Structure 1
Amino acid sequence: MRKLLFLLCLFPFFLKAQKPPNVIIFFADDLRASALGCYGNSYVKTPTIDSLAAHGMRFTNTYIQGSHHGALCAPSRAMLLTGKSYHRIKDKMAGHETIAKRLKDRGYKTYMTGKWHNEKQVVAESFSKARNVMFGGMSDHYQVYCQDLLPDGNFTDIEYKGFSTDIFGQTMMDFIDEHPKDKPFFMYLPFTAPHDPRSPLPEYAKMYNPAGMPLPPNFMPSHPFYFGHSMEVRDENLAPYPRTPEVMRAQWAEYAGLITHMDETIGKVIAKLNAENLTENTLIIFLSDNGLAMGSHGLIGKQSAYEHCMNVPMIFSGPGIPQGAESDAFLYTLDILPTITDKLGIEKPDDLDGVSFEASFRHTETSYRESIFTSYMNHQRAIRVGDFKLIRYPYIDKTVLFNLKEDPFELNDLSNRPGSANKISELMTEMRNQQEKFGDKAPLVVEETVSEDWDYRTIDRKPDQWQPQEVIDKYFKD
């Protein structure tokens, strides 16, 4: 009898130990991997994210697949949440199950706050609560437009609130306070930082002296050739031509301020988890929707197939994740959904393009695919196999080849070097294979091509509606 009573006393502890893990996804906006300390940056302060990497697993070859339009964030979010390639679903999630919906249907409370650049009805289907949601691609950080999910699936009228990072972080902490302690949760916080406008709060702007900000090793005054599609995409208007070191250092200081503010906010959310004794049973995932050029190759935005646009940071930390581990496996962000379901022991959908890399946490697998295929609109296609990467520009009939091990900044085109023809042929064959695999119909050769020459002096730079006056005065005045 005493033994039975002892076991009955232990039963609540067994239940607690077997409670399914909570999951939080922190999703940065326009954050290039090389802007984080744990990815080698020595001047941008990111202690919280660096700590997640030190206590978890950092992935160095994670990619988005690309986009069919200039707002890469929209298809990127759809791929993350559905596990499907944008070549199949574009940026539309309606009719496709999200990871939040799958967990909600299996007993999880699901929460989101932040940027949602996709269909509204998917929020209502996927989340138990959604508050301070920004439906759109960007906003003035100081006056973010927010809506809340109502019980009937509709949304409140738009309210303009305070600084985006603070609003979203506080909302996440409120969710933690409100959450019933007997149920697991899934929380999704897609920030609007460090997306422009590059207008950090004054205390974060003061952290970085523009004169001391280093430029990317592949900084250029302008891109050396025309892509075959408009060079006037909105992002490229954010700095004057030619790009100057002074202007780009100033923008890097502002970019860094936004990043550090986001990092501190993530730290506050984690501190709230600690205070509620939730950290040990919470899987934390950090990643970005895409990278950003910030002067690399003479570009400002993310509308290219270069590494600084398509390669993104990704970190897993929490129960069952090895500490201080690193993986160079070729992964896509659309692999996260099947990985989470495998980690939680939940069956995954059978119509995914993503593959689970959950075995990496048990050190039993190091490779999941042999190549990485990325693209932008119909005008750029790239394939990476091992250290070699090929980019094809069909509308200017141009092919470039890089060895990323020897040339990580993609500065030395090997396509005309003796002996490169076989490597180009091999990579082009793999590119076609990947196009067929993911349903990409874009041509790699077109009948009518245009010149690769271009003149940036013909571009008429105009600010978008979200740029505050101080940014306009600083970067748009002659």
Structure 2
Amino acid sequence: MRNNLNLFLVLFGLFNSVEIVAQTSKPNILFIFADDLRADALGCYGNSYVKTPTLDSLARAGTLFSNAYIVGGHHGAVCAPSRAMLMSGQSFFRVKDKLNGVHTLPIHLRQLGYTTFMTGKWHNEPEALAAGFDEAQNVLLGGMANHFEVAVRDLQPGGSFTQAVKKGFSTDIFTQSALDFLEKQSEAEHFFAYVPYSVPHDPRSPLPEYLKLYDEKSAPLPPNFMPLHPFSFGNSMGIRDELLAPFPRTPEIIRAQTAEYYALITHLDRSVARLIQKLRDKGLDRQTLIVFTADNGLALGSHGLLGKQSVYEHSMRVPLIVAGAGIPENKRSDAFAYLLDLFPTLCSYAGLELPTHIDGKNLLPIILGKQKSVRTHVLTAYMDFQRSVRDSRYKLIRYPAIDSTLLFDLRKDPHELKNLAENPRYQQKIIELTAHMQQEQQKLGDHLPLTAAQLMPKTWDYRTIVRKPDQWQPKEIVEKYFKE
């Protein structure tokens, strides 16, 4: 408890009673990005079981967005288009997951005088990384890896990369690289440090010292746990993420994987504490904006699913915390935000020229209490099989390939369990939200018809799916979850 209190006092001291740095000089930006982190897997988002004292303190020292979303993705590796949208400020309907030749956030900041640095996961073409960053150390070029044997590379002058070398645990490698960079900085410089971790993405194989913090037999199940998803979305239900546990899902296995997931999150939380402490040690705390968010959520037993390939809240909603000079403390905003809004928001905070021709909107007026919202509806999407739109209360999900609609009252039913679509009382709400869905599709460049020309079966049989581990799962995970 004393350590948690000390951390909060440090954070409070970092950010309390300070004018926005951009008024006098360019602020530093430390951008910390998690991988597959659902919003409700943090204490500050209402999870009383997981241990995240650093991020909880960061939220108290800054502003937390309770309704931050990704737009979605056009293939199963949702993290790739999500990261492309973050870096470009554009929807994936325009950039997909490719960034080569795109004017990105690091390119923009670099052109305006920032030193740009990254360490961690990069899933959007190595050429785009080289174009945006002055320095990149211990980079994972790809979507995932065995955390104990992550193969990393360094950016070389001229834009090439060193040969991949397998080192230690991913979280520790990336943290130490960021610490080394921060150690070299001075108060006279201004930097953008991008630290995209590869946790808590699977393999769910945490270090033993973190796993022992959780009981694999008593970790809580999600409120919307189901053994199987009740219908097919129209696409295969056997995508890679869904193979990480047997069908039907059992409470025992979901509890065990949840404990592993939380252990990875706590390791990440303690690593963020080390980065914050380094800022303080270097005297960089009062001139550095800290952003913490994630590329997408994860089901992990919710609705009978494991992955992020759905438009349910657990997959599309992400944490978003902003803390730094001039940012209101202990503030929670329920305004809708997309990850792609962070490009213009960071530029506005730093007093820099805003990018043009992007989909993102500036969230700074919301943060400063000058504006309540920048959008009234949020559209999320997955491939050609799922679309959703929500307002401040209701959420409509449309499945074009099976010609099916769901409607949820998120105020009364935040876990999306009671479908109201067949209730005659809500038909006008469905018509209204369908119109908004089409409007948001147009804004983001999405041209998918809401009913497919050729319909697919709504039923599915888990017994037809063959489970095989992918190449990144360590031996102990294979033994634990793939042996019959």
- The TM-score, its normalising length taken from structure 2, stands at 0.95
Q: Distance in 2 between matches of 1:382 and 1:458?
A: 29
Q: CA deviation at 1:151?
A: 1.1
Could you tell me which residue of structure 2 aligns to residue 187 of structure 1? Answer: 193
Find the counterpart in structure 2 of residue 83 from structure 1: 89
Corresponding residue of 2:443: 437
For residue 44 of structure 2, what is the amino acid of its counterpart?
A: C
In the alignment, which residue of structure 1 is the partner of 2:356?
350
Kindly provide the amino acid, as one letter, of the partner of residue 96 in structure 1.
V
Alignment of 1:32-51 (within 5 A): 32-51=38-57
Instruction: Specify the alignment match of 1:340 in structure 2.
Output: 346
Q: Work out the CA distance in 2 between the residues paired with 1:291 and 1:127.
A: 27
Task: Answer yes or no: is 1:406 the counterpart of 2:412.
Answer: yes
Aligned to 2:381: 375
- Structure 2 Cα separation of the partners of residues 434 and 47 of structure 1: 37
2:219 paired residue number: 213
1:4 match? none
Work out whether residues 148 and 155 of structure 1, in 8 Å CA contact, stay in contact via their aligned partners in 2.
Answer: yes
Question: Which of 66, 75, 78 matches 2:72?
Answer: 66
Aligned to 2:14: none
Q: How does 1:169-188 map to 2 (within 5 A)?
A: 169-188=175-194
* Alpha-carbon separation, structure 1, partners of 2:251 and 2:23: 55
Q: How does 1:382-461 map to 2 (within 5 A)?
A: 382-461=388-467
- CA distance in 2 between counterparts of 1:16 and 1:176 reads 20
Residue in 1 that maps onto 2:309: 303
Aligned residue number for residue 365 of structure 1: 371
Deviation at 1:437, TM superposition (A): 1.3
Aligned partners of 1:355 and 1:368 also within 8 Å = yes
RMSD: 1.2
Deviations 1:184-218 (A, max 9, x none): 01000000000000000010111101122110000
> 1:143 is matched with which residue?
149
- SS of the equivalent of 1:423 reads helix
Letter in structure 2 aligned against 1:416: E
What is the number of equivalent residue pairs in this alignment? Answer: 464
Paired position in structure 2 for 1:261: 267
Distance 2:288 2:177 in 1: 18
| 1:282 counterpart residue number | 288
User: 3-state SS of the aligned residue for 2:315?
Assistant: helix
Instruction: Say if 2:313 is the partner of 1:315.
Output: no
Partner of 1:336, secondary structure, is helix
Corresponding residue for residue 135 of structure 2: 129
SS of the equivalent of 1:329 reads strand
Q: Secondary structure at the match of 1:182?
A: coil
Q: Is the 8 A contact 2:64 2:332 kept in 1?
A: yes
Which amino acid in the other structure matches residue 407 of structure 1? Answer: D
Deviation (angstroms), 1:447? 2.7
Aligned to 2:111: 105
Query: Offset of 1:230 from its aligned partner?
Result: 0.6
Distance 1:131 1:239 in 2: 34
Find the aligned partners of 1:261 and 1:279 in 2 and give their Cα distance: 22
- Name the amino acid aligned to 2:110: K
Is residue 2:162 matched to residue 1:160? no
Whole-Å separation in 2 of the counterparts to 1:113 and 1:19? 25
Distance (Å, rounded) in 2 between the aligned partners of 1:439 and 1:32: 26
Counterpart CA distance in 1 for 2:182 and 2:374 is 35
Task: Identify unmatched segments of 5+ residues in structure 2.
Answer: 1-20
- Residue 330 of structure 1 is matched in structure 2 by 336
Whole-angstrom CA distance in 1 between matches of 2:122 and 2:468? 25
State the shift of 1:439 in Å: 1.1
Residue aligned with 1:340, SS: helix
Take 1:317 and 1:389, find their aligned partners in 2: how far apart are those partners? 30
Name the residue aligned to 2:253: 247
* Deviation (angstroms), 1:180: 4.6
Structure 1 counterpart of 2:12: none
Partner-residue secondary structure (3-state), 2:217: helix
> Aligned AA for 1:27?
F
Residue 395 of structure 2 contacts residue 407 of structure 2 at CA under 8 Å; is this kept in 1?
yes
- Aligned letter for 2:66? T
Q: CA deviation at 1:385?
A: 1.7
Q: Does the CA contact (< 8 Å) of 1:32 and 1:308 recur in 2?
A: yes
Larger radius of gyration: 1
Where does structure 1 differ by over 3 angstroms across 4 or more consecutive aligned residues? none
**AA in 2 matched with 1:123:** L
The residue type paired with residue 399 of structure 2 is Y
Native 8 Å contact 1:27 1:189 kept in 2: yes
Measured against aligned partners, the alpha-carbon deviations of 1:9-41 in whole angstroms (never above 9, x if no partner) come to xxxxxx999331100110000000111000001
In structure 1, stretches of 5+ residues that fail to align are 1-14
- How far apart are the structure 2 equivalents of 1:345 and 1:413? 46
Moved more, 300-309 or 379-388: 379-388
CA–CA distance in structure 2, aligned partners of residues 185 and 351 of structure 1: 25
Mapping 1:4-43, distance limit 5 Å: 18-43=24-49
- Of 66-75 and 93-102, the range deviating more from structure 2: 93-102
User: Distance in 1 between the 2:263 and 2:456 partners?
Assistant: 40
SS in 2 for 1:272: helix
The 3 A distance-change label for structure 1 pair 23 and 216 is same
CA–CA separation in structure 2 for the residues paired with 1:450 and 1:367 = 38
- Give the 3 Å change call, closer, same or farther, for CA 306–17 of structure 1 in structure 2: closer
Query: One-letter code of the match for 2:327?
Result: I
- 1:320 and 1:361 in contact (8 A); partners too: no
Equivalent position to 1:465, from 433, 454, 471? 471
Query: Which deviates more, 16-25 or 219-228?
Result: 16-25
TM-score by length of 1: 0.96
Partner residue, 1:12: none
Distance 2:23 2:379 in 1: 41
CA distance in 2, matches of 1:447, 1:84: 28
Asked whether 1:236 is paired with 2:255, we answer no
TM-fit CA distance, 1:296: 0.1
